[in-house]
């Protein structure tokens, strides 16, 4: 007689994990309103935009979760430093979302006062193209 229970008797069946839905509220960023629901590729695009437009460690709602991307400290820096840091920060921020599989086609252009960033993001729903003009002065 064993002092330990037979684990075969106590083992629980393995239940396969399902990916959570990406269904969320559709945000109208211009009117600053919620206008219905969104899912799939459109929800992934909205998540990308929201993550990259949110300054990291500023909003109490996100705490120290790392949500968002730090950008304010790059304003006024040398353009080559900004491009290198933006590439790293964009990649780190986006790849923390399990719906995003790859970031590619990253291009920078612009003048002295701004920096246009263009990139393509592969998600589990398909490719998303995103661009933003950052003030640099």
Instruction: Give the helix/strand (H/E) hosting 44.
Output: helix 40-53
> Which domains occur in the chain, in start order?
23-135 (3.10.450.40)
pLDDT in tens, 73-113: 988 888 899 999 999 999 999 999 999 999 999 999 988 78
Prediction pTM value:
0.79
Q: Under a CB-based contact definition with an 8 Å cutoff, are residues 69 and 55 in contact? A: yes
Query: In the block, which residue shows the tokens 């396969």?
Result: 16
More confident residue, 41 or 5: 41
Q: Look at 6-20, 23-37, 41-55, 59-73 and tell me which has the smallest mean pLDDT.
A: 6-20
In order, the DSSP letters of 21-83 are: P--EEEEETTTTEEEEEE-HHHHHHHHHHHHHHSPTTT-GGGTTS--S---GGGTTS-HHHHH
């Amino acid at each position: 007689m064993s002092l330990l229970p037979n684990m075969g008797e106590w083992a629980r069946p393995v239940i396969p994990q399902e990916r959570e839905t990406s269904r969320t509220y559709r945000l109208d960023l211009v009117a600053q309103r919620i206008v219905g629901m969104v899912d799939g590729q459109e929800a992934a695009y909205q998540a990308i935009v929201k993550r990259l437009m949110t300054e990291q460690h500023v909003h109490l709602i996100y705490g120290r979760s790392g949500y968002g991307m730090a950008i304010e400290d790059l304003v006024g820096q040398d353009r080559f430093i900004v491009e290198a840091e933006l590439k790293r920060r964009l990649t780190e921020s986006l790849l923390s979302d399990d719906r995003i599989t790859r970031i590619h086609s990253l291009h920078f252009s612009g003048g002295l006062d701004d920096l246009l960033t263009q990139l393509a993001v592969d998600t589990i729903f398909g490719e998303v193209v995103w661009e933003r003009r950052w003030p640099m002065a």
